[in-house]
Amino acid sequence: MQNNFYLTLFLLHVSISILFSQITIDFAQHEEQQSVDYHSFYPALMLKHTIGTFYKLPKNPVLSPAHGGWDMQDVADPFVLVTADSILLFYDGSAKGHYSLGYVVRDDAGWGWVGRKQILKGDKQNWRSFHLIAPTIVPGKNQLLIFNGNNSDSELGYKAGLAQKDKSGQWQYKSVKPLFKPGPKDWDFAGNAYQDVVYFPKEKKYKMWYSGFFGPFASIGLAESDDGIVWRKIKNKPIFESSPGVIAPDIIFNGETYTMYFAQLNLNRGFRTVIKSAESQDGISWGNIKTILKPKAKWEGKRLMRPNISFFEEQVHLFYCAQKGSKWQIGEAIADAQFEAAGMWQSEKIKNTYSRLRIKFEQPFQTVLKIKLLDEANGAGQIIDLELEKSELRSGVFSSSASIDPNLASFIIQVDLISENETRSPVVYEIILE
């Protein structure tokens, strides 16, 4: 019996040692990099690129209300989370007049979305008792979700809150209080909603662009956080305004330029919205405004809302929601990215206390991905064979594992990305040393 006790302690010690000796490489911490982008679709590493023109899918809408259940009346406010293992579409859905939050999963064939699941609904806290809308995953912290709650069926009065996924995989409210408490003299006194969060790995900070309401009008404000949990407004005034109102920002920062996709209100012929884009060098002053999508299809009615940009299956995807009559549905537009022909990323020097390297990656047709371990002091190196211990995580995305040469005292990880087709790039989701 005593021997079993000591054996258990030993195995526990080994497990803890293994856990704490494992690290995930931070692409923002590098010795050198050329023509690569680890900002736009953080934390993924890919070739530097520009985004082309968006075209709506002919099969729209891609998600409609279910025939029964928690989302039988409306589905709206899409947010896509892409990982190496899965693609999830978070959204809000309504039944009996109340909105709650849930998600669907991209099917294996890439044709649609399956497995509707409700994850969070209103509770007894007054400010989030009636509606929950606009789910937003905090980048790099997939267990944190920001949402907007309301205590009535109104466009105004929304407040931002935080939920967290527990160890069992269930989503729970993290706090009874909203993230912000606008005062009666604040520019967003009538509510804030439809946020987007960007992580800046070099500064280790999060920034949130969000819609602020003052009466029936809306502008876009900015907040900041060190941990994605506690937030502070940077300025008590909007950072972007365009009469009669702008709402629902979605931000892409490629390391140099900010691009914001947003919904622009138009009151010339009733209440209409279109999706536009704007550019900025600092995330505060915006210009070069362009129209991206207009409501044209019958199901779209007169309103396009809550754009959300993601990258998967070799294309850039813009999800949005649209309203015909009283019914909201979710649509999708796609664009090709124009990638650089080649890029390179090198890590900082790493002391070799590891035995294995594991990588999660995508290598489309007409692209090349090479991983090398370089020991510059001794002139040695190791090429990682991506075909070793290779398994498919989802369609086109793989995990490979290889032993690290113990003769390497220290090494630099070099990642070479090459494309023979300007619309494709290798993608590295994770490199893990263990």
Contact predicate 398/360, CB 8 Å: yes
For 128-184, the pLDDT digits (tens) are 999 999 999 999 999 999 999 999 999 899 999 999 999 999 999 999 999 998 888
- CATH superfamily ID and name for 53-335: Glycosyl hydrolase domain; family 43 (2.115.10.20)
Q: Single out the residue of 254, 191, 249 nearest to residue 222, CA to CA.
A: 249
Its pTM surpasses 0.85: yes
How far separated are the first and last CA of the chain, in Å rounded? 33
Tokens encoding 226: 């060190």
3-class secondary structure, 239: coil
Segments in the chain below pLDDT 70: 1-20, 269-270
**Distance from C-alpha of 79 to C-alpha of 337, rounded to nearest angstrom:** 20
CATH 2.60.120.260 fits 21-49+339-433, yes or no: yes
Domain 21-49+339-433 matches domain 53-335 at the CATH topology level: no
Which residues, in sequence order, are CB contacts of 51 under 8 Å at separation 6+? Answer: 252, 259, 316, 335, 337, 338
Tokens 């006790």 identify what position? 5
Bridge partners of residue 233, in order along the sequence: 223
How far apart are alpha carbons 432 and 401 in whole angstroms? 9
| pLDDT at residue number 182 | 81
**Residue-range domain boundaries for the chain:** 21-49+339-433, 53-335
SS3 406: coil
Q: What is the CA radius of gyration of the chain?
A: 23
Beta strand 87-95 with 74-82 is antiparallel
Q: What is the dihedral of CA 382, 385, 386, 389, to 10 degrees?
A: -120
d(Cα 372, Cα 385) in Å, to the nearest integer? 9
* Token pair recorded at residue 174: 């993290």
Give pLDDT, residue 17.
Answer: 40
Task: Give the residue among 362, 359, 297 at the shortest CA–CA distance from 330.
Answer: 297
- Using omega within 30 degrees of 0 as the cis cutoff, is the peptide bond preceding 244 cis? yes
In Å, the largest CA–CA distance within the chain is: 81
Please, are residues 42 and 199 in contact by the beta-carbon 8 Å criterion? yes
Indicate the DSSP class of residue 63: B
